Amino acid sequence: MRTVPGIVLAVLAVTLTACSGGSDRTAETTGATAAPPSPAPSPTTSAQLDCTAGFLAQYTTRQKLAQLLTVGVTGTADAENVVRTEQIGGVFLGSWTDQAMLSEKQLGRVEAAARTPLMVTIDEEGGRVSRLSKLIGPAPSARVSAQTVSADDFYKESVARGRAMKELGITVDFAPDVDVSSQPDDSVIGDRSFSDDPQVVTQYADAFIRAMHDAGLGAVMKHFPGHGSGSGDSHTGAVRTPPLDQMQQVDLVPFRNLVGSGAGVMVGHLDVPGLTEAGVPASISPQAMALLRQGAGYGAAPYDGPIFTDDLSGMAAITSRMGIEDAVVAALEAGADNALWISSDAVSRVLDKLEQEVREGRLPAKQVDDSVLRMARFKGIPMHC
């Protein structure tokens, strides 16, 4: 997915000598066909264990936990500071971020502070969710694209935008939105959805994911298990979806079809009757994470890619229930691999809390290691052993 900078490879060479190069992408799906079941894993060899153990040995527990955090930054100095001091795994560039980081090629300073390749992430869907329109030009919303151009043409347009993003230094796009929705254009999902037809959503989302990968970026589909028929906006309060059995026929279809696409998955702050417990949205729900991981509960192949949370600090569906430290703990303990929030202020406090959870056994060290390895593979760090 992403070419690891040579300077970082040199740092990692000692710990990765047992690993061969390459990415860990699964085969892409095509069109609206469902992803085939994953083959049974081969027995783990001692060489594989040596390889992953060697990679993990370079980190302290705190540094492992830091690799599972992606935080919003205001600009280059903020990003460089939090990366240098805590070695977080990713930074998020929002509408509040100084675009000089990109336009003046300042990301090199930030990446130089990282011991491990850094994710540089953004929300770039097109339409009204676009952070880069002034730098790479505007793009239509997902709904307009699906109504006006073929999936093949959408793929070509998306490859060009992906290459422009990569040239700026972006490595991961938190897109596409694979929610299935017939809501008005200006509602919380609305025109961010390709269609109210899950097969059309699958077709165009597949084209976008392939385009990002072909441009050298990671893609993250959202908002599992489906926000398109939610009761409101999780930025402003709790959101209730239809019951899980109803979502099987509509909302979950694109996730089922694209689970083998190589994209990451972002889990939304959604209360799902028949799945999540009362007051525990999907983003911090062990049941929601297990549904995605195991697949059988919605007729999909098991998923072993990275699970991201939606923003944990700026959305009332979470913040009305708990503070950022508890939210990150709840998300990772539930089974997420990467906790996302929109400022760097609380990073050290969050890591203090996470270290305590590991020491006291509530966040198993094996679970942390598995998440670190998933994130490394998603970044394209050579991990074939």
Q: Quick check: is 164 in a domain?
A: yes
Residues 350 and 335 sit within 8 Å (Cβ to Cβ): no
Residue 11 maps to a domain: no
Q: Residue 140 and residue 143: Cα distance in Å, rounded?
A: 8
Q: What are phi and psi of 71, to 5 degrees?
A: -130, 145
Q: Is residue 31 in a domain?
A: no
Nearest to 249 by CA among 299, 195, 292: 299
d(CA 259, CA 376): 19
pLDDT recorded at residue 318: 92
What's the confidence (pLDDT) of residue 38?
A: 39
In the prediction, which pLDDT does 33 show?
A: 38
Task: Answer whether residue 105 is part of any domain.
Answer: yes
CA distance 50 to 59: 15
135: in domain = yes
The pTM score is 0.87
Indicate if 235 belongs to the active site: yes
Residue 236: which domain range?
Answer: 60-379
Distances (CA, A) of 120 to 78, 104, 243: 14, 15, 35
Out of 98, 185, 196, 235, pick the active-site residue: 235
Residue 30 lies in a domain: no
Q: How many CB atoms lie within 10 A of CB 3?
A: 12
Q: Which amino acid is at 71?
A: V
What is the tens place of the pLDDT at every residue in 197-236? 999 999 999 999 999 999 999 999 999 999 999 887 788 7
Q: Which candidate in 78, 177, 310, 311 is catalytic?
A: 310
Is 338 part of any domain? yes
| CATH code for position 308 | 3.20.20.300
Domain count, the chain: 1
pLDDT tens digits along 156-196: 999 999 999 999 999 999 999 999 999 999 999 999 999 99
- Strands (E) in the chain, as ranges, are 69-73, 90-93, 119-122, 124-126, 129-130, 172-173, 218-224, 239-240, 264-267, 270-271, 307-309, 339-341
Residue 17 inside a domain? The answer is no
- Catalytic annotation present for 337: no
